[in-house]
A = this chain, B = another copy of it.
Amino acid sequence: MEQSAEVYGLSRSAGRIYGVLYFSGEPLSIPELVDKTGYAKSTISNVTRTLTRIGLIHRRSSEGGGRRVQYTAEREIWFILQDVFQQYVQREIQTSLRTIQRAQAQLSEDNDTDAERIEELQQTYEDLQEIVTLTSNFTAAELRDALESYDK
């Protein structure tokens, strides 16, 4: 889990905390996470916030109205990863497309080779954007099926 987390741009501690929650049968509070992970209280606090924002874990603030906060792990990893990945890549693609358009506008009209290159870039990025958008509607199994059954 810790290794996987780094691939997705998260910290080791995030991976570990998620892993403990994933395999824990019951919701856990911050002190319990401190015990089971060995991290400092402040670390748990910060990491749980970002994980909650991302959607990888959920915060159940109830349990009898007490102050104690409980966390549970989201089990449908696939959708979460899709979501994170999508936000991550979509934003990058969009800023890139904007940059490309700005570049096109500033291009002097006699510069053919640069124009052509920018055109290529734009095409690639537009394909990418479409792919990412489409992918977000699929489950892992569907995606697999779509790719396997496609005949060129």
Residues in A lying within 8 Å of B, measured CB to CB: 3-4, 7, 22-23, 25, 75, 77-78, 88-89, 92, 95-96, 113-114, 117, 120-121, 124, 127-128, 130-131, 134-135, 138, 140-150, 152
Contacts and interface: CB of A to CB of B under 8 A. Distances in A.
Contacts of A75: 120
Interface of chain A, main secondary structure: helix
Oligomer copy total? 2
A115 B3 CA distance: 21
A73 to B, nearest CB: 10
B22 A117 contact: yes
Nearest to A133: B147
A124 B140 contact: yes
A3 B96 contact: yes
Contacts of A150: 142, 145-146, 149-150
Contacts of A138: 147
B134 A147 contact: yes
In this complex, which of A89, A144, A148 has the most chain B Cβ atoms within 10 angstroms of its Cβ? A144
A114 B6 CA distance: 24
Contact of A130 (B3, B25, B144): B144
Given A4-B96, A146-B146, A150-B150, 20 more contacts: A3-B92, A3-B96, A4-B92, A7-B88, A23-B114, A77-B121, A77-B124, A78-B124, A78-B127, A127-B140, A127-B144, A131-B140, A131-B143, A131-B144, A131-B147, A134-B144, A134-B147, A142-B152, A145-B150, A146-B150
